[in-house]
Amino acid sequence: MTLKKRILSLVLIDSIIVLTSIYVSNFLLLPTNNPFTLLLLVSSIVLLCSHHTFAAMYKLYKRVWQYASMNELYAIFLAVTLSVGVTAIAQILLIQDVTFRTLTITWMMHIILIGGSRFAWRMYRDTYLPHQRTGKRTLIIGAGNAGTMIARQLKQSNEGELEPVGFVDDDIHKQQLEILGVPVLGNVKEIEELVKDHDIENIVIAIPSLNQRALNEIFLECSKTKAKTQILPRIEDLMLGNVSVNHFRDVEVEDLLGREPVELDVDGIAEYITKRTILVTGAGGSIGSEVCRQVARFTPKEIILLGHGENSIYSIEMELRRNLPDLVISTEIADVQDREKIFKIMNTRQPHVVFHAAAHKHVPLMERNPEEAVKNNIIGTRNVAEAASDAKVNTFVMISTDKAVNPTSVMGATKRIAEMIIQHMDMVSKTRFVAVRFGNVLGSRGSVIPLFKDQIKSGGPVTVTDPEMVRYFMTIPEASRLVLQAGSLAQGGEVFVLDMGEPVKIVDLARNLIKLSGYTEDEIPIKFTGMRPGEKMFEELLGKDEVHAEQVYPSIYRGKTPLVNINVTFDLVERFQGMSREMLRQELLDIANFRTRELRILSVVK
């Protein structure tokens, strides 16, 4: 039905109700041989006109009555009361008489009939249509405002795929009660039993205030069942209108870190980024591109995207231009190993801040190609750092890794040596040089998540090196925020790390991802393959000699690393191409772990 036809239908129904109300009330209280008196005629015309006027004013003809609530009832009350009031005034002015008893009954019948006509469809839907539903039997976790709102929408939606069967809530005062006709069946610890007893096919977690640790605990209970587990949309998506409250999303691995993400010190970051020229190396990578997105939020004067791969640089450039058309963006296709070009770019562009994200980071590949790790991670870092110093850059932030602590791999060793270069540059340059160490970044290129997803998509098995192997994990946005925060905290020479909570077993991550993908371990098995060259059973964020107990910002620590003779590193750079791969690998590990005599002596002297 079109809006015009709908309004005309409601106007016609209301007109019949108005005339019926006033005629019946007059007939009951003022019986006469001539029912069509002047008083009745005037009252009917005034009441009819005033009703339609106030009905239009309170939008009674444009409300969706199938979702009627107390607000709609209040609007009916106001419209009817005001129209009857206007009728009483008209009787006094035009007839010099007023029939209070008649108007009172008219008012009562008016409200009952108007309200009844509007709520009849709502009552019909709530009473009869739910029995016709064939949606998946759904258990809602959380019987608060969000859970109630979800239950109402699911019950009212004929086209929905989900049928609310019950609530789960730990509040003992809600146990065994009903909300909108849906019973509160039990608490979180009883989820597995409730799913079996009530043939639940779908679970919706509806607690917006839930922290990640509590979510992890609830998901652990849900994972014991075969029901699909979903969660409310993110609050920011709801506020932006991207989704509605009943557009549930799947629980993601990022939701199960077991700790709250680090928030930014917006003022501190804005102070050194807003209206400044910012250069990001490796801008097309998973971390570098997210750094660009985060930087763009602070309206820099210009952001320079530097990278070796043209496709990835093009991709992030187009994304930023599409989302932020007023942002000034420049691109530079360059290899950080090209010293001459890097110096030329730095001196021409004159950035205020450099975020150095370009690096080789895949552990097994760098074990097989140590010379490439030297070229990119060591020589490339030295080129960018010295170019930044020469161009008088204010702040230089290098992205490192927890694998740089007591490294056992070529990748970790080259990143530790890159940290040494940064610390050396901080001592000899006016530029502030700092490094930021990450744990494993969920979803980044080379991380286990894309590998696990591909293996699950192919039918398995999911390969895990060892059942006891653990890692620290963080999200890509979280990692990028830490980079920006480090720049605002930098005094020079620090290594910043994030308090990443408890490490996560890789096998638990694999199990969660299998469950989140809608499978069981019987369908997608896990296969243990043994540790690969260069891997450690666990990672550390700071070495014993680096630890500072105090936090410099909530959940962020500053490491203190020993001073070293950088000439040992530079000597290796000069002669590495003449070495065998095994010799180069050992030399890198010796330098990174301070196992050379020159490094030990200088550490004591300094």
10-33 pLDDT, tens digit each = 788 888 888 888 888 877 776 655
**Average pLDDT in the 195-207 region?**
88
pLDDT at res. 370:
93
Q: How confident is the model at residue 242 (pLDDT cuts 50, 70, 90)?
A: very low
282 vs 148: which has the higher pLDDT? 282
| The pLDDT value given to residue 128 | 58
Tokens matching residue 161:
């795929």
Catalytic residues: 403
Cis peptide bond upstream of 450, omega within 30: no
Q: Quick one: pLDDT band at residue 358, thresholds 50, 70, 90?
A: very high
pLDDT digits (tens, 9 = 90+) for 35-51: 557 777 888 888 888 88
Give start-end residues of each CATH 3.40.50.720 domain in the chain: 133-251, 266-605
Candidates 44, 41, 72; CA nearest to 58 is 72
Q: Averaged over 491-505, what is the pLDDT?
A: 77
How would you write 164-224 as a 3-class SS string?
A: EEEEECCCHHHCCCEECCEEEEECHHHHHHHHHHCCCCEEEECCCCCCHHHHHHHHHHHCC
Question: pTM, whole model, 2 decimals?
Answer: 0.63
Given its phi and psi angles, is residue 443 left (phi above 0), alpha (psi -120 to 50 degrees) or beta? left
* pLDDT one-digit tens code per residue, 542-597: 555 555 555 666 667 777 666 666 887 788 888 888 788 889 888 888 888 777 65
What pLDDT digit, counting tens, does each position of 79-133 carry?
888 888 888 888 788 777 667 788 888 888 888 888 777 767 666 656 655 545 5
Triad 177, 181, 184: Cα angle to 5°? 35
* Helix, coil or strand: residue 440: strand
Residues 606 and 602: their CA atoms lie apart, in Å, by 6
Q: What is the pLDDT of residue 239?
A: 44
Minimum mean pLDDT range among 43-52, 337-346, 489-498, 540-549 = 540-549
Of 606 and 137, more confident: 137
In 3D space, the residue among 167, 257, 174 whose CA is nearest the CA of residue 219 turns out to be 257
pLDDT of residue 55: 82
Specify the 3-state DSSP secondary structure of 287. Answer: helix
Res. 254 pLDDT band, cuts 50 70 90: low
pLDDT for 46: 86
The architecture that CATH gives domain 266-605 is: 3-Layer(aba) Sandwich (3.40)
Mean pLDDT value across residues 273-283: 95
**414 to 171, 285, 329, 377, 401: CA distances (angstroms):** 53, 19, 31, 6, 10
Residue whose tokens read 């296969």: 527
**pLDDT value at residue 228:** 83
What is the arithmetic mean of pLDDT over 530-534? Answer: 74
The model's confidence at residue 499, banded by pLDDT at 50, 70 and 90, is: low
Whether 504 and 538 have beta carbons less than 8 Å apart is answered as no
What mean pLDDT is predicted for residues 6-11?
A: 79
Does residue 132 or residue 316 have the better pLDDT? 316
DSSP string, 266-280: HHHHHHHHTTSEEEE
Query: How far, in Å, CA of 58 to CA of 76, rounded?
Result: 8
pLDDT at 367: 92
pLDDT of residue 417: 92
**Nearest alpha-carbon partner for 356 in 376, 330, 333:** 376
Quote the pLDDT of residue 248. Answer: 67
C-alpha to C-alpha distance for 80 and 60, rounded to whole angstroms: 11
Confidence at residue 602, expressed as pLDDT on a 0 to 100 scale: 45
pLDDT for residue 606: 32
pLDDT of 600: 45
- CATH of 133-251, picked from 3.40.1010.10, 3.20.20.80, 3.40.50.720, 3.40.640.10, is 3.40.50.720
406-445 pLDDT, tens per residue? 888 999 999 999 998 998 999 899 999 999 887 776 655 5
Mean pLDDT of 508-536: 79
Range 505-529 average pLDDT: 82
